[in-house]
Amino acid sequence: MLWRLWSVATIKIRDRADEFRIEITGRFAGVVIDEVAAHWKNELRPSSARRFTVDISGMNGYDQPGCRLLAKMYRHGAQFAAATPLSLVFLNEISTPPRRHPALVRTMTPADVKRGGSSKTDAKSPRTRQAAAGE
């Protein structure tokens, strides 16, 4: 079973007049990332007006560089096809921008301490800090 965690994906290229499609099957990691990146960069040329689609329905995982490439492709307008529950989870991870800064959390002021240690915001919603921190 361990070999599945480290196996590398296979890709299938469908080069049509109106669409360039890459189907990823398996774990998107290793040298396959460079190959997909090369195809994508080639299709970014101004002379190419075709739709670029990445089908991740058969993908079962990716490493950090793979995630970064897929997210970059998503941000630059590549279409993604996701037909399985797992691929929808991956699509959500790819399409959600990473948090760069911690969430804003109201800290206690000296007036809050004098009132007994709780702020008005915390009294209304005890889960405010957890929700703001992403917990």
Q: If pLDDT is split at 50, 70 and 90, which confidence band does 6 have?
A: low
Residue 87 to residue 44: CA distance in whole angstroms: 24
Please tell me the distance from the alpha carbon of residue 80 to that of residue 4, in angstroms, as a whole number: 24
Are residues 88 and 23 part of one domain? yes
User: Same structural domain for residues 27 and 86?
Assistant: yes
Residues 74 and 115 in one domain: no
First to last CA, the chain: 32
Q: Is 107 helix (H, G, I), strand (E, B) or coil?
A: coil
**Same structural domain for residues 118 and 58?**
no
**Same domain (yes/no): 112, 64:** no
Q: Return the structure tokens found at 61.
A: 């995982």
Provide the residue range defining the domain that includes 120.
101-135
Predicted confidence at residue 105, as pLDDT, reads 62
In this structure, the answer to whether residues 17 and 45 fall within a common structural domain is: yes
The per-residue pLDDT for 103 is 60
26 with 57, same domain: the answer is yes
For 39-48, the pLDDT digits (tens) are 999 888 777 6
Same domain, 83 and 40: yes
Same domain? 108 vs 74 = no
Question: Averaged over 11-31, what is the pLDDT?
Answer: 93
114 and 63 co-located in one domain: no
Same domain, 18 and 83: yes
Q: What is the pLDDT at residue 106?
A: 65
If asked whether residues 125 and 74 sit together in one domain, one would say no
Q: Give the pLDDT band (50/70/90) at residue 115.
A: confident
pLDDT at 70: 96
Number of independent structural domains in the chain: 2
What is the CATH classification number for the domain harbouring 69?
Answer: 3.30.750.24
